[in-house]
Structure 1
Amino acid sequence: MKTSPLQFAKKSLNTGANVLGRLHKSASVAGLSALRVAKGEQMDAYLLKDAFMQMGVTYIKLGQFIASTPSLFPREYVLAFADCLDATPPVPFAKMQAVLTEELTDDGRGLDDIFAFIDPVPLASASIAQVHKAVLKDGRKVALKIQKPDVGAIMQTDLGVLHGAFWAMERLLPMMKTANLAPIIDEIRTRMTAETDFLAEARHIDKFREFLEKTGSQHITAPKVHHDLSTKRVLVMDLLVGKSLVDESLLSDIAQSNHTTPQKVMADVLDTWFLSLMMTGEFHADLHAGNLMYLTDGRIAFLDFGLMGQIKPSSLQACFSLVQSLQLNDYHGMAQAMVDIGMTHSHDKIKVGQLADDLKAMMDKVHGSPQETDNLNLLMLELVEIGKRYGVHFPRDFALLTKQLLYFDRFMVTLAPEMELFEGERLKVVIEERASN
Structure 2
Amino acid sequence: MLERTLQDLNRLRQIAYAVARHGFGSYLEKTRLRDVLGRDAPPVEGAPPPPPDHKTAARFRQLLAELGPTFTKLGQLLSTRPDVLPSHWIDELEALQDDCPPLPIAEVLHQIERGLGHPVEELFASLDEVPLASASIAQVHRAVTHAGEPVVVKVQRPRIREQIESDLALLHYLARLLEAVIEETGIYTPTDIIEEFDRTVHEELDFGNEARNAREMRDAAVGRKVVVIPRVHAELSSPTILTLDYVEGTKISDVRPENGHDLEQVAKNVIETSFRQLFEDGLFHGDPHPGNILVLPDDRIALLDFGLVGRLTRAQQEALVTLIVAVALRDPDTVARLLNRIGVPDSHTPIADFREDIRAILDRYLGLKLDEIRSATLLRDLLDLAIRHRIRIPKEYAVLAKASITIEGIIRRIYPKLDVLEVGLPYAKELLLSRFNPSDASGMLMKSLLKLQGLAEDVPSQLSQILVDLEGGKFRVNVAGEAMDRIGGHVRALGVMVFLGLLAAGLTVGGLVVLASRSAPVLGWLALGSAVVLSALAAAYHAASQRLRKISLRQLLQR
* TM-score, length basis structure 2: 0.62
Quote the residue 1:252 is aligned against. Answer: 258
Q: How much has 1:231 moved relative to structure 2?
A: 0.9
Say which SS state the counterpart of residue 149 (structure 1) adopts: coil
Quote the residue 1:258 is aligned against. Answer: none
Q: Deviations over 1:17-65 (max 9, x none)?
A: 9997676445324224335643233695444432311121110111122
Of residues 272-281 and 354-363 in structure 1, the stretch that sits farther from structure 2 once superposed is: 354-363
Cα 1:114–1:198 shift into 2, 3 Å: same
Say which SS state the counterpart of residue 246 (structure 1) adopts: helix
What is the alpha-carbon distance in structure 2 between the residues aligned to residue 283 and residue 390 of structure 1? Answer: 28
1:87 corresponds to 2:104: no
Q: How much has 1:296 moved relative to structure 2?
A: 4.5
Q: How much has 1:271 moved relative to structure 2?
A: 1.9
Residues 338 and 392 of structure 1 are in contact (CA less than 8 Å); yes or no, is this contact kept in structure 2?
A: no
Q: How much has 1:232 moved relative to structure 2?
A: 1.3
Say which SS state the counterpart of residue 127 (structure 1) adopts: coil
The one-letter code of the counterpart of 1:421 is V
Quote the residue 1:239 is aligned against. Answer: 246
Q: Deviations over 1:349-377 (max 9, x none)?
A: 3335521365379979xx9xxx968x87x
Q: How much has 1:401 moved relative to structure 2?
A: 0.9
What is the alpha-carbon distance in structure 2 between the residues aligned to residue 232 and residue 19 of structure 1? Answer: 28
What is the alpha-carbon distance in structure 2 between the residues aligned to residue 18 and residue 193 of structure 1? Answer: 20
What is the alpha-carbon distance in structure 1 between the residues aligned to residue 127 and residue 19 of structure 2? Answer: 41
2:233 counterpart (191, 207, 226): 226
Q: How much has 1:66 moved relative to structure 2?
A: 2.3
The unaligned stretches of length 5 or more in structure 2 are: 26-43, 436-443, 445-559
1:400 corresponds to 2:399: yes
1:68 corresponds to 2:80: yes
Quote the residue 2:16 is aligned against. Answer: 30
Q: How many residues are matched?
A: 399
1:156 corresponds to 2:165: yes
What is the alpha-carbon distance in structure 1 between the residues aligned to residue 336 and residue 406 of structure 2? Answer: 21
Quote the residue 1:3 is aligned against. Answer: none
Quote the residue 1:386 is aligned against. Answer: 385
2:48 counterpart (40, 48, 51): 40
Q: Deviations over 1:151-195 (max 9, x none)?
A: 22222221111112222443x437468863322211111211222
1:409 corresponds to 2:408: yes
Quote the residue 2:219 is aligned against. Answer: 210
Residues 362 and 383 of structure 1 are in contact (CA less than 8 Å); yes or no, is this contact kept in structure 2?
A: no
Residues 15 and 67 of structure 2 are in contact (CA less than 8 Å); yes or no, is this contact kept in structure 1?
A: yes
Q: How much has 1:85 moved relative to structure 2?
A: 2.9
What is the alpha-carbon distance in structure 2 between the residues aligned to residue 155 and residue 44 of structure 1? Answer: 26
Quote the residue 1:428 is aligned against. Answer: 426
Q: How much has 1:427 moved relative to structure 2?
A: 2.1
Q: Deviations over 1:293-348 (max 9, x none)?
A: 2234664211111111123455545656667787x7x8x54564132452464677
1:145 corresponds to 2:157: no
What is the alpha-carbon distance in structure 2 between the residues aligned to residue 90 and residue 323 of structure 1? Answer: 45
Cα 1:271–1:79 shift into 2, 3 Å: closer
Cα 1:402–1:229 shift into 2, 3 Å: same
Say which SS state the counterpart of residue 210 (structure 1) adopts: helix
Of residues 351-360 and 109-118 in structure 1, the stretch that sits farther from structure 2 once superposed is: 351-360
Quote the residue 1:351 is aligned against. Answer: 353
* TM-score, length basis structure 1: 0.77
Residues 322 and 333 of structure 1 are in contact (CA less than 8 Å); yes or no, is this contact kept in structure 2?
A: no
Cα 1:421–1:324 shift into 2, 3 Å: farther
What is the alpha-carbon distance in structure 1 between the residues aligned to residue 87 and residue 63 of structure 2? Answer: 19
Cα 1:324–1:418 shift into 2, 3 Å: farther
Say which SS state the counterpart of residue 422 (structure 1) adopts: helix
What is the alpha-carbon distance in structure 1 between the residues aligned to residue 296 and residue 307 of structure 2? Answer: 21
Cα 1:253–1:337 shift into 2, 3 Å: same
Question: Aligned ranges for residues 329-340 of structure 1 at < 5 Å?
Answer: 333=331, 336-340=334-338
What is the alpha-carbon distance in structure 2 between the residues aligned to residue 41 and residue 128 of structure 1? Answer: 34
The unaligned stretches of length 5 or more in structure 1 are: 1-12, 256-260
Larger radius of gyration: 2
What is the alpha-carbon distance in structure 2 between the residues aligned to residue 18 and residue 96 of structure 1? Answer: 27
What is the alpha-carbon distance in structure 2 between the residues aligned to residue 130 and residue 137 of structure 1? Answer: 22
Quote the residue 1:99 is aligned against. Answer: 111
Quote the residue 1:307 is aligned against. Answer: 308
Q: How much has 1:289 moved relative to structure 2?
A: 3.1
1:269 corresponds to 2:270: yes
What is the alpha-carbon distance in structure 1 between the residues aligned to residue 4 and residue 112 of structure 2? Answer: 19
The share of aligned pairs that are identical, in percent, is 26
What is the alpha-carbon distance in structure 1 between the residues aligned to residue 240 and residue 59 of structure 2? Answer: 32
What is the alpha-carbon distance in structure 2 between the residues aligned to residue 183 and residue 104 of structure 1? Answer: 36
Q: How much has 1:118 moved relative to structure 2?
A: 1.3
The one-letter code of the counterpart of 2:157 is K
1:281 corresponds to 2:267: no
Say which SS state the counterpart of residue 231 (structure 2) adopts: coil
